[in-house]
Structure 1
Amino acid sequence: MRCPWNGDIMRKTYLATLLAACFLSACGGGSSSTPETPPAVVQPTQPTEPAKPRFARQISFGDSLSDVGTYAVGTVKTLGGGKFTINGGATAEIWVEQLARQLSLAAPCAAQTGLGGDAQMGFSVPVTDHAGCFGYAQGGARVTNDVGPTHKSTGSPLGALTVPVAKQVSRHLERSGGKFQADDLLLVMAGGNDLLYELQLLRAEAEAAGAAAGQRAFDNSLARALATGAPDPDALVADILAAMASQRAIAGSSNEQVIGTGVGIAIFGTGNLDLLDIAVVASMVQQALAEGEGAGKAAVPVYIQGKVPTLVGAMVKAGTELAALVKNQMLANGAPYVLVNNLPDVAGTPSGRAMDAAVQPLVKAMAEAFNEQLRIDLASEPRVLLVDAYALTQEAAANPAAFGLTNVTETACDLSVEKNRLQSSLACNASNLKPGDVSRYAYADGEHPTPFFHNVLTNRVLEEMKKKGWQ
């Protein structure tokens, strides 16, 4: 016979035990003879360096500092020239060529060659575009303006093409379907000709201002001397000046005729017959010439100082334009790597050192304004590497030996017309170098580096590329 009481007890005990086991299992409680497996330890991820770019093409835009042979045609080629440095031999490379070799890229070649100058002198050579060549930089090129130094419209017999950087970039985009490739390295260096062109205009304007001031001082001095003893000297001075001005306005009038006119008015107004004595008038003229020369010299720096805001503003504009080309025509069209060299210290070149003391501070201010605008406009662009060529040239000038340079103030090339028909590094080679060892001079001519100094720039560029992770 079954005992119901005992069965109920056993059933309740079993259920309680089962429920407790299920509860402990679900909650992870209880104990077990098998230890739990500890969670796996997650090792921190080691940061990996970004892969260095592998460049397939080098494309250069700019001016003579990057020109690999636009004008190596006609008489220029016959003279053994073609690049703005010491030409000839395997060592006659400029920085874009040296950089391409260091990066194991194809040697750069000029995208366009030709000259538009005097045909009788051999400077008229048809313009030819070269497929597969990406050296667009041209001697004399400005940032956006078509007319640079030695362009035919300036009266230069050379007739340099001076295609501006803006059109150089447009030409490449037209040839490449409007886009840059993912493995292109773009090189940009310009602005120097904008500065030099403005200086050419300034020089002409300052000379004209000085000449005008000198002429006024001469006329006034002579008129005052001639009017001595007149009843109304001021009125006679005015009459003499008017008569001299009228005579000078007549085409073909000589200085003697102008002076003679003034003397005639003075004799009539004063009755002073001593003015008929040539020696008496000559003494007055000599004094007037001295005063005129002094006034002319004094007027030049005053004129230059007044033009400082205009010329600095022109270089700010050029810097803005170049930065806009980098951003809107290069980066916006897929350029992955754009290396921009700023403007070197133009005032520190042989030509800059030879400038008038009133001009040198202006040249520095112009270059620094251009560079500062470039820096501001390109600072936030991660695909742009801005190399400070200005600082490099200043460092080299201050301590030449640190860069292996032996001379930073003189030109390696003999620029006399007897030795160098173009009086430029464009036609400089071993046949017209100065005597002695000039292999470590900084400058070939007044503005352009020797191959050795180009190599100094190349090394600085490579250093900055490495810091940027591009090497």
Structure 2
Amino acid sequence: MRRINLSLALCVMAVVSGCGGGDSSTTTTDAGPVGSTPVGGGTAKPTFAAQVTFGDSLVDVGSYAVGGIQALGGGKYTINGNNTTVSPALDGKTWTEVLASQLKLPAPCAAQTGLEGDAAKGFSIPVTNHGGCFAYAQGGARVSNPVGPGNRQTGSTLGLLTLPVAAQVANHLAASGGKFKGDEIVVVMAGSADALAELDKLKADATAAGEAAGKEAGDRVARSVFALSLTGQLLKAGLNSVNALRASDALIAELAKPDHTPASLALVLVAASLPQPGDPQPQPGGTTPDWPFLIPQMIATATADATAAAAPIAANAAAKAGADYADANGPRVVTAMTTAAADLAALVKTSIVGKGAKYVVVNNLPDLTISPFALAQPASSQDLIKQMVTAFNDRLKADLAGQAGVLLIDVASVSRAHAADSKSFGLTSVTTPACGANALGAVLNSLVCNASNTIGGDVSHFMFADGIYPTPFEHSLIAKYVADQMTLKGWL
């Protein structure tokens, strides 16, 4: 059997998304002016009057480019700023901005801006709606849930608005007379914020379950070791075994009282160590220990012994309980992603197409398993992320199948193609984030990433800006692929 050339196969799949010999950054897709009639006649292509965008971080063009975020040189989830003097690929544009330019439409502007976070850090900026701006997508926005990653209700100091996609659509309908005109190109891309939110919650809950189990196991061991250590020290101090055990129990009971004092500890120890009927006879010539001096030393030693013994037991118990919790609740997270996809599909059908939109591009969820964020997770977490992405995309595809006016873009497949055959697409790295550590940390930090805080070297053709979000160059590849699919659909 002949071997199929991988590069050729990927190019066929991606049509003309930058494949071929040489650097794909020099390859452009020019579909000609929108509204032109195909050579030889036929149905005229649509003339788009506006681009309307709904979704999350992957299509946010600057909802948070205000206050402290703006001061840090950020605002979009990519390498921010126009750095084309360094490299033409570092233009700071998201794929919807690239697409709008190709469609000869005005540059998208955020429909709503603001922050509800820490005022001391410049993260409290009044929410402002901008008339005439139709880019409703917001970083951290989920499909239906208003509390997405970075929202103030999560404890984040950023206070991201995370207006859900359902509310974004409702806002547009309210501003446009309750319907779409039918001459808009409507772009919908969501699901990544739902995935991150579900993973964050699962991790937090698993950690809490692990900590509770670890504390219980550690405390159990600590109590036993503390008592043994204390008893052993009392024996060394001169008490016989019966008195030592009794004195140890008395000390532990007194220590459990919130109002205990050094004097009360000495008193109960002395009382417990006094001979009682039936006790063994003390050794002749014995002396009475200096309890007020010895007690603090004994307690400190017993505490240290207990802590040392309990630490590994607690850690092992916590790890096991946390992993067990995550395994048991993984299916719930996958189900949540299925629900999010169903909600998104219903929203597209009833509130977008059902309200007059005739040209709707819906992107599915990129394959998050190839991201630096996912690759840094343990194997079990990587498998869960794969299940989440698959569940979301499968349900979205099933629910939108046959829906007139909707073009479903398989971004998951094209993102895998980019990672699998990076050279053909002009990518120089598909595993390393271009953004270095900045004010938001070192993992999901592209919101304030710019040329001043990227890692060393030429990052212009990296795939990922941070742990998940694309560089401007990867955004351009996505824009080309979307345009290719629109062309095949007859929309370009």
* Bucket of the pairwise TM-score, normalised by the shorter protein: 0.7 to 0.9
Q: What is the 5 A alignment of 1:60-459?
A: 60-89=53-82, 91-225=91-225, 276=298, 282-417=304-439, 424-459=445-480
How far has the Cα of 1:362 moved from its partner?
1.0
Q: Deviations over 1:95-137 (max 9, x none)?
A: 0000011111111111111112222211111221111111000
SS of 2:379's equivalent in the other structure is coil
Provide structure 1 residue ranges, at least 5 long, that are not aligned to the other structure: 1-46
**2: CA distance between counterparts of 1:246 and 1:278?**
15
Residues 1:361 and 1:423: Cα distance change in structure 2 (over 3 Å) = closer
Residues 1:245 and 1:292: Cα distance change in structure 2 (over 3 Å) = farther
Contact 1:84/1:426 (CA < 8 Å) preserved in 2?
yes
Q: Deviations over 1:214-258 (max 9, x none)?
A: 1222233344556779x9xxxx9xx99x979977xx79x9xxx9x
SS of 2:215's equivalent in the other structure is helix
Q: Which has the larger radius of gyration?
A: 1
How far has the Cα of 1:409 moved from its partner?
1.4
Partner of 2:52: 59
Partner of 2:484: 463
> Which residue type is aligned with residue 187 of structure 2?
L
**1: CA distance between counterparts of 2:323 and 2:401?**
36
Contact 1:416/1:423 (CA < 8 Å) preserved in 2?
no
Q: Deviations over 1:201-226 (max 9, x none)?
A: 11111111111221222233344556
Contact 2:151/2:160 (CA < 8 Å) preserved in 1?
yes
How far has the Cα of 1:182 moved from its partner?
2.2
**2: CA distance between counterparts of 1:167 and 1:416?**
31
How far has the Cα of 1:87 moved from its partner?
1.0
> Which residue type is aligned with residue 166 of structure 2?
A
Give the structure-2-normalised TM-score.
0.75
**1: CA distance between counterparts of 2:325 and 2:456?**
40
> Which residue type is aligned with residue 143 of structure 2?
V
SS of 1:443's equivalent in the other structure is coil
**2: CA distance between counterparts of 1:212 and 1:148?**
26
Contact 2:138/2:161 (CA < 8 Å) preserved in 1?
yes
**1: CA distance between counterparts of 2:254 and 2:382?**
37
> Which residue type is aligned with residue 402 of structure 2?
S
Contact 2:140/2:151 (CA < 8 Å) preserved in 1?
yes
Residues 1:288 and 1:119: Cα distance change in structure 2 (over 3 Å) = closer
How far has the Cα of 1:277 moved from its partner?
8.0
> Which residue type is aligned with residue 376 of structure 1?
A
Contact 1:421/1:427 (CA < 8 Å) preserved in 2?
no
SS of 1:442's equivalent in the other structure is coil
Q: Deviations over 1:334-384 (max 9, x none)?
A: 100110000112232121222233222111111111111100100120211
**1: CA distance between counterparts of 2:223 and 2:343?**
51
**2: CA distance between counterparts of 1:118 and 1:138?**
19
**1: CA distance between counterparts of 2:423 and 2:149?**
33
Contact 1:137/1:165 (CA < 8 Å) preserved in 2?
yes
**2: CA distance between counterparts of 1:81 and 1:394?**
28
> Which residue type is aligned with residue 316 of structure 2?
G
Identical-pair percentage: 47
**1: CA distance between counterparts of 2:121 and 2:185?**
38
SS of 1:85's equivalent in the other structure is coil
SS of 1:110's equivalent in the other structure is coil
Q: Deviations over 1:3-28 (max 9, x none)?
A: xxxxxxxxxxxxxxxxxxxxxxxxxx
Contact 2:436/2:442 (CA < 8 Å) preserved in 1?
no
Contact 1:414/1:433 (CA < 8 Å) preserved in 2?
yes
**2: CA distance between counterparts of 1:378 and 1:244?**
69
> In terms of mean alpha carbon deviation, does 381-390 or 283-292 score higher?
283-292
SS of 1:313's equivalent in the other structure is helix
Q: Deviations over 1:35-86 (max 9, x none)?
A: xxxxxxxxxxxx9743322212110000111111111111222222111111
> In terms of mean alpha carbon deviation, does 216-225 or 391-400 score higher?
216-225
**2: CA distance between counterparts of 1:301 and 1:402?**
40
SS of 2:397's equivalent in the other structure is helix
**2: CA distance between counterparts of 1:167 and 1:379?**
24
> Which residue type is aligned with residue 119 of structure 1?
A
What is the Cα-based RMSD across aligned positions, in Å? 3.3
Contact 1:420/1:432 (CA < 8 Å) preserved in 2?
no
Contact 2:443/2:466 (CA < 8 Å) preserved in 1?
no
> Which residue type is aligned with residue 465 of structure 1?
M
**2: CA distance between counterparts of 1:327 and 1:61?**
14
Contact 1:118/1:124 (CA < 8 Å) preserved in 2?
yes
Residues 1:421 and 1:196: Cα distance change in structure 2 (over 3 Å) = closer
Contact 1:315/1:366 (CA < 8 Å) preserved in 2?
yes
